[in-house]
Amino acid sequence: MDGDRMISLTEGGLSRRGALKATATGAALGTTFALSVQPVQAQTMITTPADGLTAGTVKVKTGDGKEMDAYRAMPATGQGFATIVVVQEIFGVHAHIADLCRRFAKVGYYAIAPELYFRQGDPKTLTDVQALLREIVAKVPDEQVMGDIDATVAFAKGEGKADTAKLGITGFCWGGRIVWLYAAHSSALKAGVAWYGRVVGDSTPLTPKHPVDIAKDLKAPVLGLYGGADTGIPNDTVDRMRAALKAGSPAAQKSQIDTYPDTPHAFNADYRPSYRKEQAEDAWKKALAWFKANGV
């Protein structure tokens, strides 16, 4: 439980100052931030040290034979670690997502964050959020994402250190939505934790269904963590998701959504002004307890 409070001057081989100032182009996965979210809030940013861990970038072979970068962290000794797939925000696998992998590793997990936009472009290089959404995020098919996460799990199993029979998934913002979808996709999943992921939306060829549409089909229980003052995810849509879960599969009925009153979107993003320390720390404890209670 101490991983969420550990502050260090090192991060993935870069000093904190280096991580904040590194240019996005050519930077190693998980060592810097997308240009569209800079400047970052250094005074609140948590940096978890990699001592005692094996951490860094790995290459995952996808179902179509391509190579996808992923940031992976696990304890440096031992094996048979329960496995957590960490799904990125819209900004890709940046320093915060890598840090979350290290936080999970500090409490004994094998955590891996695949760069799920790699076919569509590098989100770190775009300076405008709307351009990022339009030029990269909107071009990423849900079916592609599901397959790439499956490939990530297969990679973890193949390394021989992870116990993928104890499989969990967590994701933030864009990744929160993906958690719900993957819980309906994968029969191997034990549990998910979705942080402020959109639950309703328009059906498109690339995003044909949204969490509220597949709630009835969940194969693993999901804990949803949402902000009551999230202007992008209205409370009534979250209530619709709660109702859909109650009418769904046994795993759906076991799922739950916790909403933090007067709390904005991205309240766990400690590098952004939206960060809320008290809520983030409470949600982190709930996430770990949820995984443990559900066999991860």
- Please pick, among 4, 99, 173, 270, the residue that the annotation labels catalytic: 173
Task: Reduce the DSSP state of residue 41 to 3 states and report it.
Answer: coil
Give yes or no: 51 in active site.
Answer: no
Catalytic residue among 96, 101, 265, 270: 265
Closest by Cα among 19, 21, 8, 84 to 47: 8
> Does residue 230 carry a catalytic annotation?
yes
- Rounded Cα–Cα distance for residues 106 and 288 (Å): 12
Q: DSSP letters of 84-110? A: EEEE-BTTBS-HHHHHHHHHHHHTT-E
Query: Choosing from 99, 142, 230, 270, which is the catalytic residue?
Result: 230
Cβ atoms 126, 139 nearer than 8 A: no
173 is catalytic: yes
Measure the CA–CA gap between 53 and 129, rounded to whole angstroms.
Answer: 33
Expressed in angstroms, the distance from the first to the final Cα of the chain is 16
Tallying the residues shown for the chain, one arrives at 296
Catalytic residue ranges? 173, 230, 265
